[in-house]
Structure 1
């Protein structure tokens, strides 16, 4: 064909290699090429070539994993090089490791305390590292040995910078899951910020979709119950403003108003008295019967009549 150029085996290096590109060498075409070359292929050859290219990419990625033995290195506490780099705030090292571990399970590796690199980045207050990890594919839903996700830790620490990055780069589905998730103490993120009195974070979590009436799993207290326990009138006002249910009952049947008994703040007590349903203002009766000296006796005591302590 007119204008075509034939290459023998010794001329294949005409195509620019990677080294030439790195040194800034460029090829200049004297005329535009109008055809893609696909018309000269037989039917099915193009799809076969695409399939071969995909297989080559997969093989290359597998070879890269095999050729990175540093990913297998860890301390006796099962801290990887990435864990250690974050702990010591070695920024350049962190960046290089993250770049070479995109969408790799290595990013979610947990040490003996079940901390991922993301947990440590929040603990050490490194929001830029938090952002880099999330963008590289780190899973924000993973809990540590206490059941805390990275967001739970940010809430507990009151870290607004790490909190902001986490909620910004989490997917909508992941964030919804985390907000409804309780740690092993039964506390959600909203409970944690309420316990520590972080009013701004309380407001942020509710705006993000956290349930203002979620109950902690241990006793069934809501954030409003906790606010009364803490005698924090500002938190009480904020939660009520955001829709907290003043008639919510703990597992023992107590409203937030019931928790004002014996507490110093008359302001909180008077406020909740007005808002609580009249039928819920009285303290619930105890299920335990009053015990007398005779009543405290148990039939089970007879089981141990024949037991004598040595030396008695």
Structure 2
């Protein structure tokens, strides 16, 4: 069977253990508590199964969402058939009590049957569960705080993404790294999944995307797509209302700062053409031009200069871009020495020539 899990750095704990400390989930018989709003059914008593001659006891399998931990089973078991007539009427149409118990299964790692169906590339099982489970159960977060939607996006299963969105699941839930499903779509560069997530079909309205929401690294979706250099994803986010000058949470860099740091000339031009503020300052006062000069990138420094970048803005070290370019003739040629001041205000040469004329 083809493996559907992906290795994700930072998504596993020590020795493959992934314990987030959640105690809000209940496994149905006898484990943790089930999610709120889902009443655990009472399993029907069954006679013990007889061991066939020569049959070996089944080996224990670990089914969890920690990619790469444990062996994958060959296939998920089918839902059990309906029981006898003496069983109480099923709560959902066409489902027996035992089938409902299977649907409400929660593993020791907090994974529901929907999580496991997505991980093991069983979309039919996932879609069946989505159709019969309430929205609250579909928003269950496992021990890594991943919802089924996180996994469907990460493993690029757009059919499952669409089914979950039709049920109105919360799009803003964050995993243990602070990533929403849209963050993961940007990280995986899955444009189609991002388009689905940005369609705004989820209800209620408070579950719509917050495009400025940052993960625990301080990155919004536009920061991630800029770091990836994915112009199509950046364009999609901007069309959907992302703030082009959003500052990341650790140092205050805008997407333009990040594009300059990545020496991505195309991304720099794209952001400037779409209205990025050329003189945006980080928390330490550095502008994109400061960064371009520090990287000795004359091409990007030229683009910023021709876009109106102020060469006299000072950072917290009281340095201008000209100061940082000292000794580099290529950069100094791009930065005219317009450092004359009148009453403490800089006056550029063009203004002086206008006054002389």
**TM class, shorter-length:** 0.5 to 0.7
* In structure 1, distance between residues paired with 2:111 and 2:253: 37
Name 2:159's counterpart in structure 1: 128
1:277-297 deviation per Cα after TM superposition (whole angstroms, max 9, x unaligned): 2431x554269xxxxxxxxxx
Name 1:254's counterpart in structure 2: 286
Name 2:138's counterpart in structure 1: 107
* In structure 1, distance between residues paired with 2:266 and 2:285: 25
Distance 1:258 1:235, change over 3 A: same
Give RMSD over aligned pairs: 2.4
1:277 has 2:306 as partner: no
Q: What secondary structure is seen at the aligned counterpart in 1 of 2:301?
A: helix
Name 1:206's counterpart in structure 2: 238
Shift of the alpha carbon at 1:230? Answer: 0.2
The structure 2 residue matched to 1:117, chosen from 124, 131, 148, is: 148
Shift of the alpha carbon at 1:72? Answer: 3.7
Largest Rg, 1 or 2: 1
1:161 has 2:172 as partner: no
* In structure 1, distance between residues paired with 2:239 and 2:273: 12
Shift of the alpha carbon at 1:66? Answer: 11
The answer on whether the counterparts of 1:152 and 1:192 sit within 8 Å (CA) in structure 2 is yes
Q: What secondary structure is seen at the aligned counterpart in 1 of 2:146?
A: coil
* In structure 2, distance between residues paired with 1:246 and 1:175: 33
The answer on whether the counterparts of 1:141 and 1:174 sit within 8 Å (CA) in structure 2 is no
Distance 1:69 1:243, change over 3 A: same
Taking structure 2 as the reference length, what is the TM-score of the superposition? 0.59
1:186 has 2:186 as partner: no
Distance 1:62 1:222, change over 3 A: farther
1:125-149 deviation per Cα after TM superposition (whole angstroms, max 9, x unaligned): 0011100011012211111111111
The answer on whether the counterparts of 1:85 and 1:94 sit within 8 Å (CA) in structure 2 is yes
1:10-43 deviation per Cα after TM superposition (whole angstroms, max 9, x unaligned): xxxxxxxxxxxxxxxxxxxxxxxxxxxxxxxxxx
When structure 1 is superposed on structure 2, of 227-236 and 65-74 the one drifting more is 65-74
Q: What are the residue-to-residue correspondences of 1:132-147 with 2, within 5 Å?
A: 132-147=163-178
Name 2:267's counterpart in structure 1: 235
When structure 1 is superposed on structure 2, of 258-267 and 144-153 the one drifting more is 258-267
Unaligned runs of 5+ in 2: 1-88, 320-357
